[in-house]
Amino acid sequence: GENVEQHPSTLSVQEGDSAVIKCTYSDSASNYFPWYKQELGKRPQLIIDIRSNVGEKKDQRIAVTLNKTAKHFSLHITETQPEDSAVYFCAARLANAGGTSYGKLTFGQGTILTVHP
């Protein structure tokens, strides 16, 4: 089955710096790659996603890049703010598995991001 590796496990930056989190996946049939932010005691919230027919997607301070050949994708946060502090998870999904558009997501182990004021 799919395996997703995420690095680093912890990341500490100063406010205003950039943060980059990287993930690799094992199954080349995966076609959907979301990123979730989870604050302590709260639900995972989708912050950005990318599909395999796109190489890069940007939403204000957040961007995701995908390299299908190397099977890795990365989250980039620019101009970090203390409220960006949370656990970030990457995930990958196999295309149309189970007959539905949003089947099983395989998650990475998470990155604890701390932004110091």
Partner 1 sequence: DAGVTQSPTHLIKTRGQQVTLRCSPKSGHDTVSWYQQALGQGPQFIFQYYEEEERQRGNFPDRFSGHQFPNYSSELNVNALLLGDSALYLCASSLALGTGDGYTFGSGTRLTVV
Binding footprint of partner 1 on the chain (CB under 8 A)? 1, 4, 6, 32, 34, 36, 42-46, 49, 89, 91, 97-110
Kindly state the smallest distance separating residue 48's Cβ from partner 1, in Å.
11
Residue whose CB is less far from partner 1, 27 or 78:
27
Residue whose CB is less far from partner 1, 3 or 18:
3
How far, rounded to the nearest angstrom, does the alpha carbon of residue 24 sit from its chain's CA centroid? 10
Cα–Cα dist 117/81, whole Å: 8
97 exposed, middle or buried (CB, 10 Å; 0-12, 13-18, 19+)? middle
Distances in Å between the alpha carbon of 60 and those of 39, 49, 106?
A: 20, 13, 26
Residue whose CB is less far from partner 1, 18 or 26:
26
Kindly state the smallest distance separating residue 73's Cβ from partner 1, in Å.
15
Residue whose CB is less far from partner 1, 14 or 43:
43
Kindly state the smallest distance separating residue 107's Cβ from partner 1, in Å.
3
Let me know the angle formed at the C-alpha of 5 by 64 and 12, rounded to the nearest 5 degrees: 65
